[in-house]
């Protein structure tokens, strides 16, 4: 069994210009698994760059906030309580369209080097809003 508190979570931004960042819950290197699990946090107006995974399925569960998910030629509004799965080979992007941060519980299976990309990024810290949302104490 592996258990971590919110204060033990490594937080990273892949690139300094990115408007989303990741609280790494579980990853292959540290936990010996074939997936990566993060809380993905999108600043107001934040977005992922359009991206595609050759082999991995990517799953999102919206913990808080609202946005739009784009997958190939489809746009889908997403909000708290929505679950979304993206299949391998699809070009996708998630955009925060709400007035507050967008938080998603995100899994990529298999990892497909996503954890390594995140771990190579800039270290950050969770702010009070992040901690309250992740721990459910808001």
Residue 10 domain-assigned? no
Predicted confidence (pLDDT) per residue in 69-125, tens digit: 999 999 999 999 999 999 999 999 999 999 999 999 999 999 999 999 999 999 999
DSSP-derived pairing of the beta strands 36-42 and 83-86:
unpaired
Q: Which domain holds residue 72?
A: 19-135
Residue 13 domain-assigned? no
Residue 68 domain-assigned? yes
Residue 63 domain-assigned? yes
Q: Per the structure, how many domains does the chain have?
A: 1
On average, the pLDDT of the chain sits at 95
| CATH code for position 26 | 2.60.120.10
pTM: 0.95
Residue-level pLDDT at 84: 97
Q: Which two tokens stand for residue 96?
A: 């925060």
What count of Cα atoms within 13 Å lies in the side-chain half-sphere of residue 71?
15
Residue-level pLDDT at 138: 58
Residue 35 has pLDDT above 90, yes or no: yes
């Amino acid at each position: 069994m592996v258990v971590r508190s919110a204060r033990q979570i490594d937080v990273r931004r892949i690139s300094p210009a990115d408007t989303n960042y990741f609280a790494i819950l579980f990853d292959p290197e540290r936990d010996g698994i074939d997936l990566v699990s993060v809380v993905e946090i999108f600043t107001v107006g934040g977005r992922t760059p359009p991206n595609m995974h050759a082999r991995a399925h990517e799953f999102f569960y919206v913990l808080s906030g609202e946005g739009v998910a784009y997958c190939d030629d489809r746009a889908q509004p997403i909000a708290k309580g929505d679950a979304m799965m993206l299949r391998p080979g699809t070009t996708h992007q998630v955009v925060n369209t709400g007035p507050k941060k967008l938080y998603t519980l995100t899994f990529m299976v298999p990892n497909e080097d996503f954890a390594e990309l995140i771990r190579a990024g800039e270290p950050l810290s969770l702010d009070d809003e992040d901690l309250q949302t992740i721990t459910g104490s808001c």
